[in-house]
Amino acid sequence: METNNTFDPNNFLIVPARTFEQLEVGEIFRAPSRTLTDAHSAAFQTVSCDNHPVHYDEVWAKKHGHKAPVVHGLQVLAFTAPGATMFPHVIGEVFIAFTELTCKFLKEVNAGDTLYPALEIIALTPQGETGIVETAATVHNQRGELVLAGTHKYLLKTTPEA
């Protein structure tokens, strides 16, 4: 049994935290797969206030060339949030900010699709006391189709030179 004298919050880290310098190009951080439902879309519609019928009206969506209502693109993008992966735990206390993202929606996503998001480190750019980590952000569906591709950039502290 731990007592207050031996308690250390650092003993509760999910994984050992690493420094900017310990990260490597090619590392991949995957998020758990998620199967989207109509309830997910309805909740996102409520939060986003996006009331376009393509997202909830099956007749309208089919009339305009879709097989079913289309999940909001920003909702699909949200599945690439770094916090859905182990990345924030890996970088621990060196994180400063999420600074930039790009995104292309490549295929429509519908309720019933299962999404597989991942972040892969593609560049590490030291800049003195900070560094930029750039990741490729991807989301595939259950058919292996790439439905979203983009990049994220994060600003991290670097280790001061001794």
Fold of 18-157: Thiol Ester Dehydrase; Chain A (3.10.129)
Dist. CA 13–CA 88, nearest whole Å? 11
Q: What is the pTM of this model?
A: 0.89
pLDDT tens-digit profile of 113-151?
999 999 999 999 999 999 999 999 999 999 999 999 999
Tokens of 20: 């900017």
Dist. CA 115–CA 31, nearest whole Å? 9
Concatenated DSSP letters of the chain: ---TTT--GGGG-SS----GGG--TT-EEEPPPEE--HHHHHHHHHHH----GGGT-HHHHHHTT-SSPBPPHHHHHHTT-GGGSSHHHHHGGGEEEEEEEEEEE-S--BTT-EEEEEEEEEEEEEETTEEEEEEEEEEEETTS-EEEEEEEEEEEEPPPP-
pLDDT over 80 at 81, yes or no:
yes
Dist. CA 29–CA 90, nearest whole Å? 10
pLDDT over 60 at 162, yes or no:
no
**Domain coordinates in residue numbering, the chain:** 18-157
Q: What is the mean pLDDT of residues 39-53?
A: 92
Q: What is the mean pLDDT of residues 26-44?
A: 95
